[in-house]
Chains A and B, each alone.
Chain A
Amino acid sequence: MDKTLNSKTKTLLSIACIAAFLVFVYIGDNTIPPGSSWKMMITVIEKGSIFALVAASMNLLNGFTGLFSLGQAGFMLIGAYTYAIFTIPGKSHDAVYQYFDGGLIKWSIVEILEGKLGVLGHYIGMFIPMIGAGLIVALIAFLIGIPVLRLKSDYLAIATLGFAEILRAFFQWNTLGPITNGSNVLRKYTTYGNAIFPVIIAGICIAIIMLLINSTYGRAFRAIRDDEIAAEAMGVNLFKHKEMSFVISSFFAGISGALLAMFQTTINATPFNTVMTYEILLIVVIGGIGSITGSIIGAFLFTAASEWWLRGLDAGRWLGISSSLMRPGFRKVVFAVLIMLIVLFYAQGIMGSREFSWDRFIAWWKNLPSNLKSWPERHKAKATARKEARATKAAAKAKAKAAKEEGEAKKASGEKLFTPLPTSNEVMVFGKEGK
């Protein structure tokens, strides 16, 4: 591929694109009236960026270290709860923990810091529980990783999936009620004001994941993915690096859990189930296993499709078509079919294992008109090739049939079809040469 731009221009272009996107999100969130259908776009960007982060963290494990782990929803759950518990304002505790005498923790980090530092304290107060959520998840992942990471492939997936399910039940346990509010929702905690907040946080976290992947440790992770035995023989400490990847991935899953808590404004353990894990896995697969940019694109496409574009399928009217089939739940059916098609015919995902690059994008853009123009020709050529293949196959079949008929005829007339194998007294055994 020929280089079209120098690296400085590319960096400037990237920064300009990101800045334009952030401005668009900020202004969009402030100016679009709540009733408008375009408001959904901002929601998609918020939720999409959160899922992009968790998908990137899962890709770090599945796509780059080769550890098939399915515990991501469980780690998000811990992150979401940690954030929510420490940011519910003191005066709301009695209302939120109404069944548990106002709960155990009667203060909020945000409130304490806001009282001392003002607006700055408000944001620091949001950051501390968010980072704390990541750190707690990382600590738990570290402990879980010690026994679990000795397992290979499918067994690891089963163990982590089981662990995530246990966590869900654990957080709904009534005895823990004064802290987790049992099976009731946590609400009224501090959330962000503008959609730009999750976009920026997720962006920074994904950038860190990409830096890690391109560092020497990232290379060691990929070596483990490609060939564990060879990696070990090249001096890569398998357990240390697997544990590292697992802990870092979980840290970012925790952060995205905290962001999800903010996005939803109420949090409950029930939705953090296997379905959520599979949604994240799906995003990774659609985007391409081993491509972070693929995960980002996959996250936005997935969220847009499920929250926005296919919503009409549940409401009874979609793209001007209305049918009695379209009732609540039909969206999921269409989605499942789409996913099957993607996995069957497009298994490598949107990006495969490549990352976005300006060179490739510009080349693609330049070739787009000619590609589109030549599409009918290529289609025709393909059709002709298929026709020819069919003709050859038919000819071969006819030939085989004729040969079979000939053989049958010969057999019927009593002709010998094969030379019989020599019997033992006809075979000469070579003697060993004497010394």
Chain B
Amino acid sequence: MADKKDNREVVLRLSDITMQFGGVVAVDNLNLDVHKNEIVGLIGPNGAGKTTAFNCITGVYEPTNGAIEINGQVVIENYPQGKMKDSYQGRNQGKYTKAITMLPDKVTKLGVARTFQNIRLFKGMTVLENVMVAMHMNQSESVFGATFRSKKAREEEKAMREEALDLLKKVDLYENRDDMSTSLPYGKQRHLEIARALATHPSILLLDEPAAGMNPQESDDLMRFIGRIRDEFDLSILMIEHHMQVIMGICEHIYVLNYGGQIADGTPAEIQANPAVIEAYLGGDE
């Protein structure tokens, strides 16, 4: 376990997050901190509960127990209720008493943007439109004004388009702006998903396996790209990844999950030397 104290402000904190589906505990008492401008990795074998943890943070699932703080404010909190009261298997029962839930779009408004493990672009739209959808929530014009092209609506649309084009330039997709999103090559689709997430003006970016299906050269480019956007957009990043090369290359802090439980956390060097991690990945002695 890490002993070093990080003095930077905590932007995302998961406290005792437990997610139980019926009798299956997918995530078991996960405690995780993301500090400002930090790149944090979340690793673990298949089925360890990494994506479930992401879905809890973004409001797709309601965690069974535990709390999530974003920028110091508790936005999600839950305790075992109803049927779950009897079948709950996790610890820390009774520690949390409030039930605060938040829908994914509200979480996004708070500044948490995400990408998906299996690319989820808007198929019927161009690259530019994909990015502009993500800016829709920040516009203030009513549907009536937008339909009849009021002055405000036209100004907002223009500003939105300019910002989207600017963003596409930054992620090297400007040339493809009018292509259909599905016609892009795989690597560029990943870039577009990140660009679309950036368009929501996030302070925390959650990347779910951004290097999946990439060759060493491509994942090397991606690593540099993630580092660049972190600096350029002043982001804190939490990423799930299976490519150890990527994780060890850019993460400052790594959390390891196995069977839902948290088995280790620390710097890349500490993780590489941790016997519990080696056992989880390579299998231990019988």
Contact = CB atoms under 8 A, between A and B. Distances in A.
- Does B associate with A? yes
Interface of A: 208, 211-212, 215-217, 219-220, 222-223, 225-227, 229-238, 244, 248, 290, 353, 432, 435
B105 A216 contact: no
A223 B108 contact: no
B120 A230 contact: yes
Contacts of B133: 219-220, 222-223, 231, 234, 236
Nearest first, the 10 A-B pairs at minimum CB distance are: A235-B137, A230-B120, A226-B122, A235-B108, A215-B146, A234-B134, A232-B104, A223-B133, A212-B147, A237-B105
A304 B156 CA distance: 43
B103 A219 contact: no
Interface of B: 58, 60, 103-105, 108-109, 113-114, 116, 120-125, 129, 132-134, 136-139, 141, 143, 146-149, 153, 156-157, 160, 196-197, 199-200, 285
Interface majority SS on A: helix, strand, loop or mixed? helix
B260 to A, nearest CB: 22
Contacts of A234: 105, 108, 113, 133-134, 136-137, 196-197, 199-200
Contacts of A244: 143
Contacts of B58: 233
A219 B132 CA distance: 8
A232 B114 CA distance: 11
A17 B215 CA distance: 55
B195 to A, nearest CB: 11
Contacts of A233: 58, 104-105, 108, 113-114, 116
B124 A232 contact: no
A396 to B, nearest CB: 34
A67 to B, nearest CB: 15
A355 to B, nearest CB: 13
Nearest to A290: B124
B134 A217 contact: no
Contacts of A238: 103, 105
Contact of A211 (B120, B122, B148, B199): B148
Contacts of A220: 133, 136
A15 B48 CA distance: 62
B124 A225 contact: yes
Contacts of B136: 216-217, 219-220, 223, 234-236
Contacts of B60: 229
Given A215-B157, A230-B116, A236-B133, 6 more contacts: A215-B147, A217-B147, A226-B123, A229-B120, A232-B108, A235-B134
A215 B146 CA distance: 6
Contacts of B141: 216
Contacts of A227: 120-123
A398 B125 CA distance: 48
Contacts of A435: 285
B129 A219 contact: yes
B147 A216 contact: no
A212 B141 CA distance: 13
Contacts of A225: 124
Nearest to A230: B120
B156 A216 contact: yes
B179 to A, nearest CB: 14
B137 A223 contact: no
A237 B113 CA distance: 15
B146 A230 contact: no
B73 to A, nearest CB: 18
Contact of B125 (A211, A223, A229, A235): A223
A230 B121 contact: yes
Contacts of B143: 212, 215, 217, 244, 248
B114 A226 contact: no
Contact of A216 (B108, B114, B157): B157
A222 B125 contact: yes
B122 A216 contact: no
Contact of B122 (A212, A222, A290, A353): A222
B122 to A, nearest CB: 4
B120 A353 contact: no
Contacts of B149: 211, 215
A217 B148 CA distance: 12
Contacts of B146: 212, 215-217
B155 to A, nearest CB: 12
